[in-house]
Structure 1
């Protein structure tokens, strides 16, 4: 086989630039990010902080929609504007300066009001991966939300006023293959070993190994041999499940440990690892309920030509589980680190990898059969392998539209229920909503001109929102007074924190890795408290 050609200098520099993030989402995640196109509506302090954290990792393109001119307030709160920018279009000026962070990113600026675009050119938004908006009035939010929901484009609404902030993610359906769970269980199949693994495990006799080899066999073998001995003692082929039974397996592992001439156990790291790994290694192989729900839901069983690759692969996965898999998911094929000789570890690793590749190939054949029947777009073998490797932790997000928050029904009941709790963060959400209502009615933020005079008007907006969700008025007006004192101003530290959070969520959505917030996040910068709510 010929040696692979050396990487080009440009590729090496690119890998060096993006090294840290490649460790998080891999080459394929970076490729997905570079294909992404973000639309930002209004280059406020919050908006530019979001873009900064999306441009730096290398998103493909950004478009800023903003018809405002740069004011003194913008220059005071927005690090991506200069004194010379005053009086110029805010979007164009922000774009010029923010693209200096990463020349590889393409940028565009549109100097039209969002409402006008929605009326005259609604197809404008179809080309974007994610649309992010800040500082919008209630009327525009509802119209934009409904339109993006109808055309199935992800929408993130950010709010930053004074010490308060929030973001709300609107996403119709989002399938995540690489969810990256914090505590992923190893897929070892010791309870149902496949033929190659059985042959390897049976070929080793712990009790006859010499001292040198004894300390270098993988802990997987040690635990398996202890279980076989336990089953023989019990005269039962049951798999040890209870705490007592697992402790009995640990005792048998201790019996395997060699002793010196004085009867003192020899310290062998692989046996210590085996004792620590008993609980996780003895987890039986099973089909998780959440995966059953996915592969047997209507989207996976009633495929059409328009079905997404995710649902086609779910259907193929179901076919594999019912046939070749015999009720089990495809083998993950990943072996945890362990103390062992290179020979033993590499051999065991190859056994798992070969079986995983064999089972992924079976799923891929089923995918091809479905594609041929439906006459739809092809799905690569690499995508199917990735799907099989992470099939244990597939995750699906089905969200709700932001427009539904402005209607009576389940969302109103949910808000009312959370407002009953003391010191709840939902109060801040109501204030931010009331501020948007005020902006729609008066074309400015509450307190922007007359803080004292706007208190009564903002209080009426709050009262209307509370009436809509069947809640009594707030016992005190402190929150309303504080919102008017803000005058719609953005505090940069609050916007910077929220901007980083929103950018992170946008990257999760573009790369289809990690679980995004579902679906409202509220932040109080004064107390540094945060809360999430799901409408």
Structure 2
């Protein structure tokens, strides 16, 4: 039994990457939560109660390097082209190209040449407003119409350039969330116990201040585009080479930090540094709240809970009802409605338990009787479809935590099978 392990061998739980808890009583769950929070082991609580599914993720600190963002931008550095890129673009004279070569010139070349013309008249800055971007697009269109080239010629690369204006012509800067990480005390004050993430982050901070000239390492990848093989491969190699140069500079800083900390050089491999550089723009640090903070009325996010209860369609009511159900169990050693012949009396008892939970939060808010009746009608049953759905969601979150990829939910998940809706709350 988990309770026996908690009592006689609590260190057992510290050996896992993540612990999944289901069916635990509130008292045991809170005790397990404290133990795992102090040990730095993530805890995922899963629950299926009638038509309600619930998950609670407790993580002290969890860095995510590979976040896989949906709207990743292209890191092309067109606002500050590095020497090899500048040399490649300058070597191409668009007016001297054949129709075929003209229509197979990578759109990066088209954008940078148009940007050169734009900046001659606009103080070396990027087009920013809608009007400026429209004027910039006109420069690109003028190149299509130049010379004897027919408007009917297939110039798909120029269409790609026009579509890429908003996405590719972005100022090269360190994102605000990465700057915040740079100023974190764990980054500024490395110790022998520092995890690889913080050592890599400190090396990244130093890289930006020196070799990067205020910019993060180049990602080194290119989007798909219409281009002839020779020039596309050459352009790709240019970006790869520059990115590799940044990786080498970064890893040199990592090795120096490891030496200073008295750690072995293989504590962080070059491949790990390379992966970190590739994802530098989208780093994420998950810092959660403990179950102890959530269950303590003094530190609970009462305002968040009560403000959501004011909304008639909010799923927060089911979180509150689950808390009331647990209070009922602690008072009567059974779940409400578990015995059919006690259903009517359990309704009034659960309503009283709910009132005591709300009173601890300083609220006189009482839920509609419909919710109290519904929770009693469930009788703590587990419906297969709800349990299966929560099990699938839990598996997905555990994979995120174990692999360090994708950002886990933060931190409470409620599934309402009656309406097939779900929501997350930070509690």
- Answer whether TM exceeds 0.5 for this pair: yes
After TM superposition, give the deviation of residue 260 of structure 1 in Å. Answer: 9.3
Change (3 A) 1:298 1:319: same
Alpha-carbon distance in 1 for matches of 2:150, 2:42: 67
* Alignment pair present for 1:171 and 2:64: no
Alpha-carbon distance in 1 for matches of 2:27, 2:366: 25
- Report the equivalent of 2:167: 280
After TM superposition, give the deviation of residue 118 of structure 1 in Å. Answer: 0.6
After TM superposition, give the deviation of residue 218 of structure 1 in Å. Answer: 0.3
- Report the equivalent of 1:448: 338
Alpha-carbon distance in 2 for matches of 1:297, 1:421: 37
- Report the equivalent of 1:428: 318
* Alignment pair present for 1:508 and 2:395: no
* Alignment pair present for 1:220 and 2:112: no
1:345-360 matches, within 5 Å, as: 345-360=232-247
- Report the equivalent of 1:486: 378
* Alignment pair present for 1:463 and 2:349: no
After TM superposition, give the deviation of residue 284 of structure 1 in Å. Answer: 1.1
**8 Å contact 1:177–1:390 — kept in the other structure?**
yes
**8 Å contact 1:166–1:521 — kept in the other structure?**
yes
- Report the equivalent of 2:217: 330
* Alignment pair present for 1:371 and 2:258: yes
After TM superposition, give the deviation of residue 510 of structure 1 in Å. Answer: 0.7
Change (3 A) 1:475 1:297: closer
Alpha-carbon distance in 2 for matches of 1:236, 1:419: 54
- Show CA shifts across 1:336-374 (max 9, x none): 010100111111111101110110111101010111111
After TM superposition, give the deviation of residue 123 of structure 1 in Å. Answer: 0.6
Alpha-carbon distance in 1 for matches of 2:359, 2:122: 69
Alpha-carbon distance in 2 for matches of 1:203, 1:421: 63
Alpha-carbon distance in 1 for matches of 2:284, 2:395: 21
Alpha-carbon distance in 2 for matches of 1:159, 1:366: 46
**8 Å contact 1:260–1:266 — kept in the other structure?**
no
Aligned counterpart in structure 2 of residue 202 of structure 1, from 77, 80, 90: 90
Alpha-carbon distance in 1 for matches of 2:119, 2:186: 43
Alpha-carbon distance in 1 for matches of 2:127, 2:354: 59
After TM superposition, give the deviation of residue 405 of structure 1 in Å. Answer: 1.6
5+ residue gaps, structure 1: 1-112
- Report the equivalent of 1:148: 36
1:69-468 matches, within 5 Å, as: 113-232=1-120, 234=121, 236-258=123-145, 264-377=151-264, 378-410=267-299, 411-449=301-339, 450-468=342-360
- Show CA shifts across 1:477-508 (max 9, x none): 11111111111111111111111111111111
* Alignment pair present for 1:524 and 2:416: yes
Alpha-carbon distance in 2 for matches of 1:352, 1:387: 17
**8 Å contact 1:136–1:436 — kept in the other structure?**
no
After TM superposition, give the deviation of residue 262 of structure 1 in Å. Answer: 9.2
Please state whether the residue corresponding to 1:257 is helix, strand or coil: helix
Q: TM-score, normalised by structure 2?
A: 0.95
Alpha-carbon distance in 1 for matches of 2:390, 2:33: 20
Alpha-carbon distance in 1 for matches of 2:170, 2:8: 59
Alpha-carbon distance in 2 for matches of 1:349, 1:291: 27
Alpha-carbon distance in 1 for matches of 2:93, 2:131: 26
Alpha-carbon distance in 1 for matches of 2:104, 2:424: 48
**8 Å contact 1:405–1:412 — kept in the other structure?**
no
**8 Å contact 2:26–2:326 — kept in the other structure?**
yes
Alpha-carbon distance in 2 for matches of 1:251, 1:485: 67
**8 Å contact 2:95–2:147 — kept in the other structure?**
no
Change (3 A) 1:324 1:259: closer
After TM superposition, give the deviation of residue 429 of structure 1 in Å. Answer: 0.3
**8 Å contact 1:259–1:265 — kept in the other structure?**
no
**8 Å contact 2:99–2:149 — kept in the other structure?**
no
- Report the equivalent of 1:38: none
1:3-18 matches, within 5 Å, as: none
What is the number of residues matched between the two proteins?
A: 422
Alpha-carbon distance in 2 for matches of 1:235, 1:386: 37
Give the root-mean-square deviation of aligned CA atoms. 1.6
Alpha-carbon distance in 1 for matches of 2:159, 2:380: 60
- Show CA shifts across 1:108-151 (max 9, x none): xxxxx211111100011011111111122111111111111111
Alpha-carbon distance in 1 for matches of 2:150, 2:222: 34
Change (3 A) 1:498 1:235: closer
Change (3 A) 1:276 1:512: same
5+ residue gaps, structure 2: none
